[in-house]
Structure 1
Amino acid sequence: MSRHGGDGTVQGARDGAGPDADGRALRKALPRSAHGDWEPAADRPDPLRLLERQEATRLAELVPLRRERMAASPFAFFRGAANVMAADLAATPVTGPRVQLCGDAHLANFGGFAAPDRTLVFDVNDFDETAPGPWEWDVKRLVASVAIAGRDRGFDDGQRERATTATARAYREALRRFSGMRLLDLWSVRVDLEGTVQRWRARASRDERDRYERNLAKAHGKTSLRAFEKLTETVDGSVRIVSDPPLLVPIEETAAGGAAPDVEAGMRGLLASYRDSVAGATANLLSRYRYVHAARKVVGVGSVGTRCWIVLLLGERDDDPLFLQAKEAGPSVLAPYAGAGRYRHGGRRVVEGQWLMQAASDVLLGWLTVTDPAGEKRDFYVRQLWDWKMSADLDEMAPTALAAYGQLCGATLARAHARSADTRRIAAYLGSGDVFDRALARFAEAYADQNERDHAALVESGAAVAR
């Protein structure tokens, strides 16, 4: 019979045992098949109340847009409800080992982007909720997202089971492989997207190959130069970010705007603070750009309502733009359940987690603190707005493509976890059989049912308001 600590961690591994024996001993305390169990706790927090508490810190005028986006489908709701699942996962038993978590590891939070050496790589690409915590939480959120995406696509039970099982298997097998590597070898592992796709082409349909080529061309076009063409206009001889409220609002049209000289001076001060958080060479690069304009931009689904800015800089030539994105970063949704973590600054928490989990990161990652018009201090992290960003088109995936993509994401997540901690105990616990894989597939379907109930409650709450 399993014993659980007050924090939900299973007790029972042998003190002083090696990682392999220790990991196998954990199976007796928490059978791998038990990871398939999901029943909402009798005292489960109301998911709508959890969303409301989160929205209390958001920009009130954007909350209805967030609700609208989350109501669009069960998968859209899942994307925006990381705090709901965090509360649910906190009620489930875990084996004990902790890693750096993405915190919101669903299918849409993986993708391609440019590495510093200008190759297209694939990795986890969203770290707003990153924090140290139980390894199981990321894996369960990822595999559940596969089931929910499959339902959105109308796939049958067997098609979804093959995709969820394949995703869990890819995580398990990759973690076992990475756990046996020398640390420096592990640190250099990354997914070259072009090479991966070349291997995939042989079994892909012509439509899938054509769709990928279109997405690749679109990704290569996602640069600051393209953003400059799309998001700016010239007004009275000056370059300005266009106004498209509520999605894109120039700074002078927001509560943060004031007299133009004050705004510009304030932005220069913030940029100087941000430069202090980056490496010396990058700080030198940034010093060669000048501030031009800024605007508030709505992004994502769950992030709607957070304070997110884009900042336009120009280099020594007027055709050398750089767009930065500064995004508000509060505590991780995992913090109430996994602990606050090492970094008190929310922006630094995000950046440090990204550096730790990613094999290649944006060289312009940094952080800063802003004092808003009400005098409240808010933490932000900074990155490039667009840098060859490439996302999978989940709405067009066939069942086999969903399974293949789930495998890619599962293996990528395993590598990210292995970079942050000694995962040999976890690998030994998972073993070489498929017990864990089948359990996770069962959990994914059960949680997809729960997600549909929560989504329906959100939709109904909107209908009630409308009536």
Structure 2
Amino acid sequence: MTDPDGTARQNLIRAELRRVDGADPGAWAPSPKHRKMAASPLRFLRGSAQLYYADLANGTLQLPQALLARVPTTAVMGDCHVSNFGFLTEEGSHGDTVVFCPNDYDDACMGHAHWDLARYIASLVLAADFCRGVLDGRYASDEVDDPADLTAATDEDAREAGRAFLDAYIRTCREGVDDPSRRDSALTKFPKGHVLRKPWKKAKRRRAGGRDFTAKSTLAKEVEIRDGRPRFRDRPGRFAALEPARARQVHAAFRPYVDDAVLDLVLRLGAGTGSVDLERFYLLVGPEHFAGDADLPLCHVVEVKQQRPASPLHHFPDLRPENRLDPAHLTVDCQRLMQRSPDMVLDEAVWEDKHWLVRSRHHARVGIDPEDVALAKKKPGKRLAAYAGACGEALALAHARGDRRSTRFEAAMARVLAEETDALLDAAGGYAARLIADRQLLKAVMSC
């Protein structure tokens, strides 16, 4: 069916956003999330995972049938893209091993691994488009001070990066077949010249005991010591104080889930793109009798976040029985499967008839922006391919952990994906082009 003026597509976008976000992008005052999504096609992809699965279900996006028919399901990220990988300390803020891995499990469920693969490859194309747009003034970036001597990755670079991503994924699966203990490994070190070398070293400096812990760790950025007690910083637009009665309610509901006293708590404002409109709280957890700077490494931030159903499940509700678990419970189970060493604080709760995810914030968390990997003075395509290769290895390890009893997943995925690499690259690249047009349709809705 053709849609020459885009009306049907525009209506689908509007309906899917309204269904999940509870807000109409065509309203007089669009939500903060929809304003973010309209800023670029990459932002649009990050906020519209539900549309991706609608397109898979209705046949708008068709991925290689062999991947569907011949590969077992496993635990998947659900919202896989270039900005949902990064560095963190294993076991949450209590660990000291810095790893590069998927860092967002809000849409995790039991599903098809190629869902993650195609979505990631599409995001590579949009990351390159975003960086070119930063240089020519189509998109805004807070990460680039002087673009004059920078070049951006091309569409051809993005395709080669997609190939590097799939090659690394296939290689890691094959290694897992030969040695099942491979799934218990992680990316913990990067050589000189690698695009991830600097952020890896940055993360190591920010872990507890690192030289930048007291100045640049997640804890240091969010917490200060006032009158001898640690407190959240006054950061308008990021944190908001709670009314005393509300603070007591939050404390009573979530104190049992954390591993020490709750020293302070705030409302977290405006986080992320996909979940920007969901309520969340930050709890500062540490020794009840805080004794000063020496006790600061014993403190950590715990996020309590309202959880909604994973994006794939509205359109694929019956794929696996595990997906019938409540949203936060499913997220916890999938994160525990996919991580080598899960957060020490990782739990779920039901409160005020809503599902809540309770999890550690990492001291050494370092995210990766598209500008970090697709913009450079020379050879941005090489940087993007190196980054994509690391993501492919990390994602293969995470997917493989969905079944620790056998290597059937790795064997099937390595065999079928090698046959379908070009078909998957073509499908994901075509979908990226659709999303560029979809972002314009969203802008048109919002300008009505």
User: TM-score, normalised on structure 1?
Assistant: 0.74
| Structure 1 unaligned residues grouped into runs of 5+ | 1-40, 253-259, 276-285, 372-376
Cα distance in 1 between the residues matched to 2:424 and 2:172: 16
How far did 1:334 drift?
0.9
Cα distance in 2 between the residues matched to 1:269 and 1:174: 45
User: TM-score, normalised on structure 2?
Assistant: 0.77
1:71 to 16, 32, 38: 38
Q: Which amino acid aligns with 2:304?
A: A
| DSSP 3-state at the match of 2:69 | coil
1:297 to 265, 269, 273: 269
Q: How does 1:428-467 map to 2 (within 5 A)?
A: 428=412, 430-431=414-415, 434-464=418-448
1:257 — aligned with what? Answer: none
Q: Which moved more, 1:210-219 or 1:322-331?
A: 210-219
Q: Do 2:343 and 2:359's aligned partners in 1 also have CA atoms closer than 8 Å?
A: yes
1:344 — aligned with what? Answer: 325
Cα distance in 2 between the residues matched to 1:87 and 1:137: 12
Q: How does 1:342-421 map to 2 (within 5 A)?
A: 342=322, 344-371=325-352, 377-397=353-373, 398-421=380-403
Q: Do 2:109 and 2:330's aligned partners in 1 also have CA atoms closer than 8 Å?
A: yes
Cα distance in 1 between the residues matched to 2:343 and 2:165: 27
Deviation digits for residues 367-396 of structure 1 (CA, Å, limit 9, x no counterpart): 22221xxxxx11111122232101223213
Q: Give the aligned length.
A: 389
Deviation digits for residues 331-379 of structure 1 (CA, Å, limit 9, x no counterpart): 11111233264253322211111010111221111122221xxxxx111
Cα distance in 2 between the residues matched to 1:429 and 1:236: 57
Q: Which amino acid aligns with 1:322?
A: H
| Structure 2 unaligned residues grouped into runs of 5+ | 1-5, 133-152, 374-379
1:111 to 66, 86, 90: 86
Going from structure 1 to structure 2, the CA distance change for 1:46 and 1:404 (only over 3 Å counts) comes to: same
Cα distance in 2 between the residues matched to 1:78 and 1:401: 22
2:111 — aligned with what? Answer: 133
Q: Which moved more, 1:362-371 or 1:215-224?
A: 215-224
Deviation digits for residues 150-175 of structure 1 (CA, Å, limit 9, x no counterpart): 22233323222211111122222222
Cα distance in 1 between the residues matched to 2:316 and 2:214: 37
How far did 1:114 drift?
0.7
How far did 1:238 drift?
7.6
Q: Which moved more, 1:148-157 or 1:411-420?
A: 148-157
Residue 184 (structure 2) pairs with residue 188 (structure 1): yes
**Pair member with larger Rg:** 1
How far did 1:274 drift?
2.3
| DSSP 3-state at the match of 2:401 | helix
How far did 1:230 drift?
3.9
Q: How does 1:49-64 map to 2 (within 5 A)?
A: 49-56=15-22, 64=31
How far did 1:438 drift?
1.8
Q: Do 1:224 and 1:386's aligned partners in 2 also have CA atoms closer than 8 Å?
A: no
| DSSP 3-state at the match of 1:431 | helix
Deviation digits for residues 23-81 of structure 1 (CA, Å, limit 9, x no counterpart): xxxxxxxxxxxxxxxxxx998671222112111189x9996211121122111111111
Q: Do 1:166 and 1:437's aligned partners in 2 also have CA atoms closer than 8 Å?
A: no
2:252 to 261, 269, 273: 269
Going from structure 1 to structure 2, the CA distance change for 1:228 and 1:172 (only over 3 Å counts) comes to: closer
Q: Which amino acid aligns with 1:267?
A: V
2:73 — aligned with what? Answer: 98
Residue 12 (structure 2) pairs with residue 46 (structure 1): yes
Q: Do 1:167 and 1:407's aligned partners in 2 also have CA atoms closer than 8 Å?
A: yes
Q: Do 2:206 and 2:216's aligned partners in 1 also have CA atoms closer than 8 Å?
A: no
Q: Which amino acid aligns with 1:152?
A: F
Q: Which amino acid aligns with 2:81?
A: H
Cα distance in 2 between the residues matched to 1:266 and 1:61: 34
2:56 — aligned with what? Answer: 89
How far did 1:188 drift?
2.2
